[in-house]
Amino acid sequence: MLIDTAHGDQLQKILQRAESGSPCTMRELALEFDLSPSRLQHLFKERTGARLGQWLAELRLQRAAHLLAESNMSVKEVAYAVGYRHTSSFVRAFERVFQQAPGRFQRQMLNKRVFS
């Protein structure tokens, strides 16, 4: 049971690191916590029932939506801020999750702020 608790503590630290706001990849998390990427994925899936890569991607896009809604950053700036190297990849991922382009989402959020 000691090993189980140790892995739980380690996973908690991994989750806190991922949710800290600075972009991170699965490989970076694995290196930081001295785990292989496959061991990290297994541990995450075992404890949460979710896939780590998918969870990290969703977390990045939620941060992006918040930045688009609450800041005056451009779509390109937001893409880089949440860890995308290519704006086009960010736009495709954002559209898959939010069913609209990030620029349109940002304009809608701006209109809500202006008219609220």
Domain boundaries, the chain: 2-50, 56-114
pLDDT-based confidence at residue 106 (cuts at 50, 70, 90): very high
Instruction: Using the predicted structure, report yes or no on whether residue 2 has a pLDDT greater than 50.
Output: no
Q: Which tokens go with 15?
A: 């989750």
Q: Among 3.30.70.920, 1.10.10.60, 2.30.30.830, 2.60.40.10, name the CATH number for the domain at 56-114.
A: 1.10.10.60
Cα dist from 24 to 6, 47, 69, whole Å: 22, 20, 22
d(CA 114, CA 54): 34
CA dihedral (37, 34, 32, 41) positive or negative: positive
Give residue-wise pLDDT tens across range 86-105: 999 999 999 999 999 999 99
d(CA 51, CA 70): 29
d(CA 23, CA 63): 10
